[in-house]
Amino acid sequence: MDYLAHTYKEICETVVIGTSTEGRPLKLMKISTGGETKPAIWIDGGLHGREWISPATVTYILLQLVEFREKHANLLEKLDWYILPVANPDGYEYSHVHDRLWRKTRSRALHTKKRRPSPSFGLWNTKSRTKDQCVGTDANRNWDFHWKEVGSSSNPCHENFAGDKPFSEPETAAIADFIMKHSRRIKMFLSLHSYSQMWLIPWGYSENEKPKDYYDMYILAEKGVKALKSVKGTDYLLGTAAELMYISSGASDDWAKGVAGIKYAYTIELPDTGAHGFILPASRIESTGQETWEGIKELAQHFADGL
Protein backbone atom coordinates (compact mmCIF):
# COMPACT_ATOMS: atom_id res chain seq x y z
CA MET A 1 0.00 0.00 0.00
CA ASP A 2 2.87 2.34 0.80
CA TYR A 3 4.43 1.49 -2.54
CA LEU A 4 1.21 2.34 -4.40
CA ALA A 5 0.73 5.57 -2.45
CA HIS A 6 4.33 6.55 -3.20
CA THR A 7 4.23 5.57 -6.87
CA TYR A 8 0.78 6.88 -7.77
CA LYS A 9 0.65 10.02 -5.64
CA GLU A 10 -1.92 11.67 -7.89
CA ILE A 11 -4.61 9.12 -7.13
CA CYS A 12 -3.59 7.10 -4.05
CA GLU A 13 -3.42 8.13 -0.45
CA THR A 14 -3.09 5.92 2.60
CA VAL A 15 -5.10 7.01 5.61
CA VAL A 16 -4.66 5.49 9.07
CA ILE A 17 -8.25 5.49 10.30
CA GLY A 18 -7.49 4.05 13.72
CA THR A 19 -5.35 1.64 15.71
CA SER A 20 -5.99 -1.98 16.69
CA THR A 21 -5.93 -3.23 20.27
CA GLU A 22 -2.29 -4.29 19.89
CA GLY A 23 -1.34 -0.99 18.28
CA ARG A 24 -1.36 -1.85 14.59
CA PRO A 25 -2.48 0.84 12.15
CA LEU A 26 -5.80 0.37 10.35
CA LYS A 27 -4.49 1.42 7.00
CA LEU A 28 -6.98 2.40 4.35
CA MET A 29 -6.29 3.34 0.74
CA LYS A 30 -8.26 6.17 -0.70
CA ILE A 31 -8.25 6.15 -4.48
CA SER A 32 -9.50 9.34 -6.04
CA THR A 33 -8.87 11.36 -9.16
CA GLY A 34 -9.94 14.51 -7.32
CA GLY A 35 -12.65 16.28 -5.37
CA GLU A 36 -14.61 15.12 -2.37
CA THR A 37 -17.99 14.91 -4.01
CA LYS A 38 -18.01 11.74 -6.07
CA PRO A 39 -20.00 8.66 -5.21
CA ALA A 40 -17.77 6.19 -3.41
CA ILE A 41 -17.37 2.46 -2.92
CA TRP A 42 -16.16 0.85 0.30
CA ILE A 43 -14.38 -2.53 0.32
CA ASP A 44 -12.92 -4.15 3.42
CA GLY A 45 -11.23 -7.48 4.02
CA GLY A 46 -9.76 -9.43 6.89
CA LEU A 47 -12.34 -8.66 9.56
CA HIS A 48 -11.89 -12.30 10.58
CA GLY A 49 -8.26 -13.31 11.14
CA ARG A 50 -8.21 -16.75 9.53
CA GLU A 51 -9.94 -15.80 6.27
CA TRP A 52 -6.70 -15.12 4.44
CA ILE A 53 -8.17 -15.15 0.94
CA SER A 54 -10.02 -11.98 1.86
CA PRO A 55 -7.08 -9.56 2.37
CA ALA A 56 -5.40 -11.22 -0.63
CA THR A 57 -8.43 -10.56 -2.84
CA VAL A 58 -8.91 -7.00 -1.59
CA THR A 59 -5.23 -6.35 -2.31
CA TYR A 60 -5.64 -7.82 -5.78
CA ILE A 61 -8.57 -5.46 -6.42
CA LEU A 62 -6.51 -2.52 -5.16
CA LEU A 63 -3.74 -3.43 -7.59
CA GLN A 64 -6.18 -3.71 -10.51
CA LEU A 65 -7.80 -0.40 -9.68
CA VAL A 66 -4.52 1.46 -9.54
CA GLU A 67 -1.99 -0.19 -11.83
CA PHE A 68 -4.43 -1.18 -14.54
CA ARG A 69 -6.62 1.89 -14.29
CA GLU A 70 -6.59 2.60 -18.03
CA LYS A 71 -8.59 -0.61 -18.52
CA HIS A 72 -11.46 0.86 -16.53
CA ALA A 73 -10.72 4.59 -16.50
CA ASN A 74 -14.35 5.56 -15.87
CA LEU A 75 -14.40 3.65 -12.58
CA LEU A 76 -11.78 6.06 -11.26
CA GLU A 77 -13.05 9.16 -13.02
CA LYS A 78 -16.57 8.75 -11.73
CA LEU A 79 -16.01 7.10 -8.34
CA ASP A 80 -13.87 7.33 -5.21
CA TRP A 81 -12.75 4.08 -3.62
CA TYR A 82 -12.06 3.34 0.03
CA ILE A 83 -10.17 0.09 0.44
CA LEU A 84 -9.22 -1.49 3.77
CA PRO A 85 -7.47 -4.84 3.13
CA VAL A 86 -6.91 -5.84 6.76
CA ALA A 87 -9.69 -4.70 9.08
CA ASN A 88 -8.53 -6.91 11.99
CA PRO A 89 -4.72 -6.84 11.81
CA ASP A 90 -4.21 -8.36 15.28
CA GLY A 91 -6.34 -11.40 14.42
CA TYR A 92 -4.66 -11.71 11.04
CA GLU A 93 -1.19 -11.66 12.61
CA TYR A 94 -2.25 -14.09 15.35
CA SER A 95 -3.53 -16.52 12.72
CA HIS A 96 -0.09 -16.41 11.08
CA VAL A 97 2.04 -16.78 14.19
CA HIS A 98 0.06 -18.77 16.78
CA ASP A 99 -3.24 -20.24 15.65
CA ARG A 100 -4.09 -20.61 11.95
CA LEU A 101 -7.82 -20.69 12.70
CA TRP A 102 -7.99 -17.56 14.85
CA ARG A 103 -11.13 -15.55 14.01
CA LYS A 104 -11.60 -12.83 16.61
CA THR A 105 -9.76 -9.65 17.51
CA ARG A 106 -7.18 -9.76 20.34
CA SER A 107 -8.83 -7.55 22.93
CA ARG A 108 -9.58 -8.74 26.44
CA ALA A 109 -13.16 -8.55 27.63
CA LEU A 110 -13.76 -7.02 31.05
CA HIS A 111 -14.09 -10.21 33.05
CA THR A 112 -11.32 -12.11 31.25
CA LYS A 113 -8.92 -9.47 32.47
CA LYS A 114 -9.44 -10.69 36.02
CA ARG A 115 -8.64 -14.29 35.18
CA ARG A 116 -5.87 -13.64 32.76
CA PRO A 117 -3.11 -16.28 33.05
CA SER A 118 0.21 -15.09 34.40
CA PRO A 119 2.59 -13.99 31.67
CA SER A 120 4.97 -16.80 32.63
CA PHE A 121 2.72 -19.33 30.90
CA GLY A 122 4.13 -20.19 27.48
CA LEU A 123 1.82 -19.71 24.51
CA TRP A 124 1.79 -23.42 23.83
CA ASN A 125 1.12 -24.35 27.42
CA THR A 126 -2.23 -26.14 27.55
CA LYS A 127 -3.54 -24.10 30.45
CA SER A 128 -2.85 -20.79 28.78
CA ARG A 129 -4.25 -22.09 25.48
CA THR A 130 -7.57 -22.80 27.12
CA LYS A 131 -7.58 -19.25 28.41
CA ASP A 132 -6.53 -17.99 25.02
CA GLN A 133 -9.93 -18.93 23.61
CA CYS A 134 -11.35 -16.31 25.95
CA VAL A 135 -9.35 -13.52 24.31
CA GLY A 136 -10.86 -11.42 21.54
CA THR A 137 -14.23 -10.38 20.21
CA ASP A 138 -15.93 -11.47 17.00
CA ALA A 139 -15.52 -8.27 15.01
CA ASN A 140 -18.55 -9.25 12.93
CA ARG A 141 -20.89 -9.39 15.93
CA ASN A 142 -19.76 -6.12 17.44
CA TRP A 143 -21.70 -3.57 15.30
CA ASP A 144 -24.35 -1.39 16.82
CA PHE A 145 -27.44 -2.75 15.05
CA HIS A 146 -29.51 -5.49 16.70
CA TRP A 147 -26.32 -6.06 18.70
CA LYS A 148 -26.11 -9.40 20.57
CA GLU A 149 -29.71 -10.32 19.69
CA VAL A 150 -29.13 -13.57 17.77
CA GLY A 151 -26.31 -15.83 16.61
CA SER A 152 -23.82 -14.19 18.91
CA SER A 153 -22.56 -14.92 22.37
CA SER A 154 -22.02 -13.05 25.60
CA ASN A 155 -19.33 -15.56 26.56
CA PRO A 156 -15.85 -14.20 25.76
CA CYS A 157 -14.61 -17.77 25.31
CA HIS A 158 -16.90 -18.33 22.31
CA GLU A 159 -15.93 -17.74 18.69
CA ASN A 160 -18.87 -15.40 18.17
CA PHE A 161 -18.49 -13.31 21.33
CA ALA A 162 -20.23 -10.00 20.58
CA GLY A 163 -17.99 -7.91 22.87
CA ASP A 164 -18.79 -6.12 26.14
CA LYS A 165 -20.78 -3.49 24.26
CA PRO A 166 -21.41 -2.41 20.65
CA PHE A 167 -18.20 -1.08 19.12
CA SER A 168 -16.13 -2.23 22.09
CA GLU A 169 -13.40 -2.99 19.54
CA PRO A 170 -11.17 -0.15 18.34
CA GLU A 171 -11.23 -1.73 14.88
CA THR A 172 -15.01 -1.75 14.38
CA ALA A 173 -15.38 1.65 16.08
CA ALA A 174 -12.81 3.24 13.76
CA ILE A 175 -14.37 1.77 10.62
CA ALA A 176 -17.87 2.83 11.69
CA ASP A 177 -16.67 6.38 12.41
CA PHE A 178 -15.02 6.65 9.03
CA ILE A 179 -18.02 5.27 7.19
CA MET A 180 -20.45 7.56 9.03
CA LYS A 181 -18.33 10.55 7.98
CA HIS A 182 -18.66 9.55 4.33
CA SER A 183 -21.97 7.71 4.41
CA ARG A 184 -23.79 10.09 2.10
CA ARG A 185 -21.28 9.42 -0.67
CA ILE A 186 -20.76 5.70 -0.11
CA LYS A 187 -23.12 3.98 -2.53
CA MET A 188 -21.93 0.44 -1.94
CA PHE A 189 -20.42 -1.34 1.05
CA LEU A 190 -18.63 -4.64 0.44
CA SER A 191 -17.10 -6.79 3.14
CA LEU A 192 -15.06 -9.75 1.90
CA HIS A 193 -15.00 -12.90 4.02
CA SER A 194 -14.54 -16.62 3.46
CA TYR A 195 -15.64 -19.26 2.91
CA SER A 196 -18.68 -20.70 1.07
CA GLN A 197 -19.06 -18.85 -2.26
CA MET A 198 -22.06 -16.78 -1.34
CA TRP A 199 -23.04 -13.21 -2.13
CA LEU A 200 -24.96 -12.25 1.00
CA ILE A 201 -27.64 -9.59 1.26
CA PRO A 202 -28.97 -8.16 4.56
CA TRP A 203 -30.57 -8.95 6.81
CA GLY A 204 -28.54 -11.42 8.76
CA TYR A 205 -30.43 -10.73 11.97
CA SER A 206 -33.76 -12.15 10.82
CA GLU A 207 -34.98 -14.90 8.53
CA ASN A 208 -38.46 -13.50 8.20
CA GLU A 209 -37.69 -9.93 7.35
CA LYS A 210 -36.16 -8.56 4.17
CA PRO A 211 -35.18 -4.96 3.48
CA LYS A 212 -37.94 -3.22 1.53
CA ASP A 213 -35.58 -2.64 -1.40
CA TYR A 214 -34.30 -6.22 -1.25
CA TYR A 215 -34.98 -6.85 -4.93
CA ASP A 216 -32.94 -3.83 -6.04
CA MET A 217 -30.07 -5.30 -4.05
CA TYR A 218 -30.73 -8.76 -5.47
CA ILE A 219 -30.88 -7.68 -9.10
CA LEU A 220 -27.65 -5.74 -8.88
CA ALA A 221 -25.80 -8.52 -7.06
CA GLU A 222 -27.10 -11.02 -9.62
CA LYS A 223 -25.21 -9.13 -12.31
CA GLY A 224 -22.06 -9.39 -10.20
CA VAL A 225 -22.50 -13.10 -9.61
CA LYS A 226 -22.97 -13.67 -13.37
CA ALA A 227 -19.89 -11.64 -14.27
CA LEU A 228 -17.89 -13.51 -11.64
CA LYS A 229 -19.03 -16.86 -12.99
CA SER A 230 -18.11 -15.90 -16.55
CA VAL A 231 -14.40 -15.95 -15.63
CA LYS A 232 -14.01 -19.64 -14.80
CA GLY A 233 -17.41 -20.99 -13.90
CA THR A 234 -17.37 -20.44 -10.13
CA ASP A 235 -20.90 -20.67 -8.75
CA TYR A 236 -22.10 -18.35 -6.01
CA LEU A 237 -25.34 -18.56 -4.08
CA LEU A 238 -27.22 -15.29 -3.75
CA GLY A 239 -29.64 -14.46 -0.96
CA THR A 240 -29.91 -13.18 2.57
CA ALA A 241 -27.27 -14.08 5.11
CA ALA A 242 -29.95 -15.49 7.39
CA GLU A 243 -31.41 -17.75 4.69
CA LEU A 244 -28.19 -19.02 3.16
CA MET A 245 -25.88 -19.25 6.18
CA TYR A 246 -27.36 -18.69 9.62
CA ILE A 247 -29.09 -15.99 11.60
CA SER A 248 -26.66 -13.65 13.29
CA SER A 249 -26.87 -10.03 14.30
CA GLY A 250 -24.36 -7.27 14.92
CA ALA A 251 -22.58 -7.85 11.58
CA SER A 252 -21.14 -5.02 9.50
CA ASP A 253 -23.39 -5.44 6.44
CA ASP A 254 -26.60 -5.08 8.46
CA TRP A 255 -25.15 -2.03 10.21
CA ALA A 256 -24.02 -0.45 6.91
CA LYS A 257 -27.54 -0.76 5.56
CA GLY A 258 -29.59 -0.28 8.72
CA VAL A 259 -27.62 2.51 10.39
CA ALA A 260 -25.28 4.11 7.86
CA GLY A 261 -28.08 3.97 5.27
CA ILE A 262 -25.95 2.54 2.47
CA LYS A 263 -28.46 0.96 0.15
CA TYR A 264 -26.18 -1.63 -1.40
CA ALA A 265 -24.45 -3.44 1.48
CA TYR A 266 -23.16 -6.95 0.91
CA THR A 267 -20.93 -9.58 2.47
CA ILE A 268 -19.10 -11.71 -0.07
CA GLU A 269 -18.07 -15.15 1.15
CA LEU A 270 -15.14 -16.05 -1.10
CA PRO A 271 -14.10 -19.60 -2.10
CA ASP A 272 -14.16 -22.38 -1.58
CA THR A 273 -17.22 -24.39 -0.50
CA GLY A 274 -15.36 -26.43 2.10
CA ALA A 275 -12.80 -28.70 0.46
CA HIS A 276 -10.04 -26.45 1.83
CA GLY A 277 -12.22 -24.03 3.76
CA PHE A 278 -10.20 -21.29 5.45
CA ILE A 279 -6.93 -22.95 4.37
CA LEU A 280 -7.38 -22.18 0.69
CA PRO A 281 -4.11 -22.92 -1.16
CA ALA A 282 -2.10 -19.87 -2.18
CA SER A 283 -2.35 -21.06 -5.79
CA ARG A 284 -6.01 -19.97 -5.70
CA ILE A 285 -5.26 -16.33 -4.85
CA GLU A 286 -4.86 -15.07 -8.39
CA SER A 287 -7.92 -16.75 -9.91
CA THR A 288 -10.06 -15.75 -6.93
CA GLY A 289 -8.84 -12.17 -7.35
CA GLN A 290 -9.62 -12.20 -11.07
CA GLU A 291 -13.15 -13.51 -10.80
CA THR A 292 -14.08 -11.43 -7.74
CA TRP A 293 -12.82 -8.29 -9.43
CA GLU A 294 -14.96 -9.04 -12.50
CA GLY A 295 -18.00 -9.34 -10.24
CA ILE A 296 -17.30 -6.15 -8.30
CA LYS A 297 -16.46 -4.19 -11.46
CA GLU A 298 -19.89 -5.06 -12.84
CA LEU A 299 -21.59 -3.47 -9.84
CA ALA A 300 -19.23 -0.50 -9.77
CA GLN A 301 -20.06 0.22 -13.40
CA HIS A 302 -23.66 0.70 -12.38
CA PHE A 303 -22.69 3.49 -9.96
CA ALA A 304 -20.20 5.03 -12.40
CA ASP A 305 -23.03 5.24 -14.93
CA GLY A 306 -24.94 7.26 -12.36
CA LEU A 307 -27.72 4.71 -11.91
Residues serving a catalytic function are 269
Q: Are 42 and 1 in contact (CB under 8 A)?
A: no
Stretch that binds ligand 0X9, among 167-175, 225-233, 249-257, 290-298 (CB under 6 A): 249-257
CA dihedral angle for residue 84, residue 88, residue 93, residue 98, rounded to 10 degrees: -150
DSSP for 84-97 reads ES-S-HHHHHHHHH
Stretch that binds ligand 0X9, among 56-64, 90-98, 164-172, 243-251 (CB under 6 A): 243-251
Nearer to ligand 0X9, 88 or 248 (CB): 248
Taking the complex as a whole, the smallest distance from the CB of residue 144 to ligand 0X9 amounts, in Å, to 13
The CB density around residue 1, as the number of other CB atoms within 10 Å, is 17
Q: Identity (one letter) of the amino acid at 70?
A: E
What would the x/- binding string for ligand 0X9 be over residues 260 to 299, using CB under 6 A? Answer: -------x-x------------------------------
Nearer to Zn ion, 79 or 270 (CB): 270
Nearer to Zn ion, 38 or 55 (CB): 55
Q: Which of 187, 193, 210, 257 binds ligand 0X9 (CB under 6 A)?
A: 193
Q: Does residue 259 belong to the site contacting ligand 0X9 (CB under 6 A)?
A: no
Q: Does residue 238 belong to the site contacting ligand 0X9 (CB under 6 A)?
A: no
CA separation for the pair 217, 240 (Å, rounded)? 10
CA separation for the pair 307, 293 (Å, rounded)? 20
Interface with Zn ion in residues 175-194 (CB under 5 A): 193
Q: Does residue 48 belong to the site contacting Zn ion (CB under 5 A)?
A: yes
Taking the complex as a whole, the smallest distance from the CB of residue 20 to Zn ion amounts, in Å, to 17
Q: Does residue 137 belong to the site contacting ligand 0X9 (CB under 6 A)?
A: no
Interface with Zn ion in residues 193-222 (CB under 5 A): 193
Q: Which residues contact 100 (CB under 8 A, 6 or more apart)?
A: 50, 278, 279
Stretch that binds ligand 0X9, among 11-19, 74-82, 116-124, 251-259 (CB under 6 A): 251-259
Q: Which of 80, 132, 253, 294 binds ligand 0X9 (CB under 6 A)?
A: 253
Beta strands 25-31 and 80-84, pairing class? antiparallel
Q: Does residue 44 belong to the site contacting ligand 0X9 (CB under 6 A)?
A: no
Q: Are 228 and 295 in contact (CB under 8 A)?
A: yes
Q: Identity (one letter) of the amino acid at 59?
A: T
As to burial, measured by CB atoms within 10 angstroms (0-12 exposed, 13-18 middle, 19+ buried), residue 135 is buried
Q: Does residue 254 belong to the site contacting ligand 0X9 (CB under 6 A)?
A: yes
Q: What does 107 interact with, of ligand 0X9, Zn ion, none (CB < 5 to 8 A by kind)?
A: none
Cα 117 → chain centroid: 31
CA separation for the pair 179, 186 (Å, rounded)? 8
Q: What does 90 interact with, of ligand 0X9, Zn ion, none (CB < 5 to 8 A by kind)?
A: none
Strand partners, 43: 83, 190
Q: Are 63 and 72 in contact (CB under 8 A)?
A: no
Go through the chain and tell me how many residues it has. Answer: 307
Question: Which residues sit at the interface with ligand 0X9, rule CB under 6 A?
Answer: 48, 51, 140, 193, 200, 202, 204, 241, 245, 248, 251, 253-254, 267, 269
